[in-house]
Amino acid sequence: MRCGIIIRISSDNGFYGYGEVAPLGMLSDASKSEIEGISQKLVGREIEASPENISKAIIALNTADGCGIESALCDLASKCENQPLAGWLSSKNPSMAVPVNYLLSRPVDDWDELINRIKQSGYKAIKFKIGSFDVDDDISFVNDTIARLGSNVSIRLDANQGYDFETAVKLFKNIDLSKIEYVEEPLIGSDPAQLSKLKKETGIRIALDESITDYCQMEPLSKKEFCNAIIIKPARLGSLLKVPAAVSSIIKNGCKAICTSTLETEIGIAAQLQMVASLGENLPPCGLDTVRLFENYDANLFAVQDGKIKLPIGNGIGCGDALWGKL
């Protein structure tokens, strides 16, 4: 079950901006009270419509839930300037569609139907969980998936820090690593020395996710020889506007930057799609194809074609007013 808050901020000229606060854990009463307090601080306040000034305003608010408020302000500002959020955020031409990976759930009931869906939608990458099953089951499932899909898509594994060192070595020495793009957080505790040793011993490419709790960690960690990719979750890290600088520093150090959701609704996903699109073309598939995991979602809004989700048409995030009307 996911619990969150949809934020709506209005301007004097009649526009509305939307954002979402959706922590991975349960939404606490303290978070609800904090959001209510912040909303009162924003009433009547003038904030210049630029990413820099909105970022300063969020820092001044000193909140862990800043991403949702920041997103709402950015949505509002870009609407006031009659631009899609991606165009408002970028001085270069934004992409009109964002590549995404397919999130595969285990067990697979119908492989033929799954393979057909992946081919029809044109996914270039798939991702699935490992580490919470018996390691022999993981080995079998990974090898089976490689045999069925490995020639058509890149395969990403997410272990959620599920293995001790010896078990991880067993897994990666018994699968074809040439078909694996990377594994997220393979080891319990995510100790850098152990991750380095694991990569040297097995050759597995490693991505960091939940061990990163602040944007300031990304640049130095992307320099580590064991790190091949960094997963960026703006909602968890508290800011959407810090994504471009983070992506730039990660890529500069030879790593992949993968923007990913924390299972937000359409409003949160729309903001992240706009942000990724503002970075231009040639980014790897992102983990933003997650609204289909919810009941009663709009299947047409974020449909995947040729492995990409097209941006909603309109200013701001492109869909906030319509989605608000359904709440």
pLDDT at position 26, please? 54
Helices vs. strands in the chain: H and E counts, helices first? 13, 12
Query: What number of CA atoms fall less than 13 Å from residue 235's CA on the CB side?
Result: 27
**pLDDT of the residue at 158:** 98
How far is residue 143 from each of residues 101, 105, 307, measured CA to CA in Å?
19, 16, 23
Q: What single DSSP character describes residue 25? A: S
pLDDT at position 45, please? 73
* Lowest model confidence (mean pLDDT) among 27-31, 247-251, 310-314: 27-31
pLDDT digits (tens, 9 = 90+) for 49-63: 788 888 887 776 656
Q: Say yes or no to pLDDT of 28 above 60.
A: no
User: What distance in Å separates the CA atoms of residue 214 and residue 239, rounded to the nearest whole number?
Assistant: 10
Q: How many CA atoms lie within 13 A of 311 on its CB side?
A: 25
Instruction: Check whether 102 has a pLDDT greater than 90.
Output: yes
| pLDDT at residue 46 in the model | 77
CA angle, 114 as apex, 109 and 115 as ends, to 5°? Answer: 130
Q: Distance between CA atoms of 261 and 87, rounded to whole angstroms?
A: 21
Considering the chain, what percentage of its residues have pLDDT values greater than 70?
A: 94
What pLDDT does residue 323 have?
A: 84
pLDDT of residue 3: 75
Q: Which of 25-39, 86-100, 244-258, 294-308 has the lowest mean pLDDT?
A: 25-39
Domains of the chain: 5-84 (3.30.390.10), 97-317 (3.20.20.120)
- Position with higher pLDDT, 67 vs 24: 67
Q: Is the pLDDT of residue 98 over 80?
A: yes
pLDDT(316) > 90: yes
Task: Determine the Cα–Cα distance for residues 53 and 56; give it in Å rounded to an integer.
Answer: 5
Interacting residues of 133 by C-beta distance below 8 A, sequence separation 6+: 106, 141
Q: Residue 139: its pLDDT value, please?
A: 98
Please write the tens of the pLDDT for every residue from 268-306: 999 999 999 999 888 899 999 999 888 888 778 899 999
Amino acid 4: pLDDT:
80
- Residue 37 scores a pLDDT above 80: no
Q: How high does pLDDT run on average in the chain? A: 90
**Residue 290: its pLDDT value, please?**
94
Question: Average pLDDT in the 100-124 region?
Answer: 96
pLDDT of residue 111: 96
Whole-angstrom Cα distance, residue 19 to residue 187? 34
Is the pLDDT at 13 greater than 70, yes or no?
Answer: yes
Lowest mean pLDDT among 63-67, 118-122, 235-239: 63-67
Average pLDDT over residues 248-259: 97
Task: Record the tokens describing residue 225, joined without a space.
Answer: 């020889």
Per-residue pLDDT tens digits for 158-216: 999 999 999 999 999 999 999 999 999 999 999 999 999 999 999 999 999 999 999 99
**pLDDT at site 44:** 72
pLDDT score at 50? 84
Reported as a pLDDT band with limits 50, 70 and 90, residue 232 is very high
Number of Cβ atoms within 10 Å of the Cβ of 128:
19
Confidence of residue 23 (pLDDT cuts 50, 70, 90): low
Q: What is the pLDDT of residue 30?
A: 55
Q: At 141, is the pLDDT very low, low, confident or very high (cuts 50, 70, 90)?
A: very high
User: Contact 263/290 with Cβ under 8 angstroms?
Assistant: yes
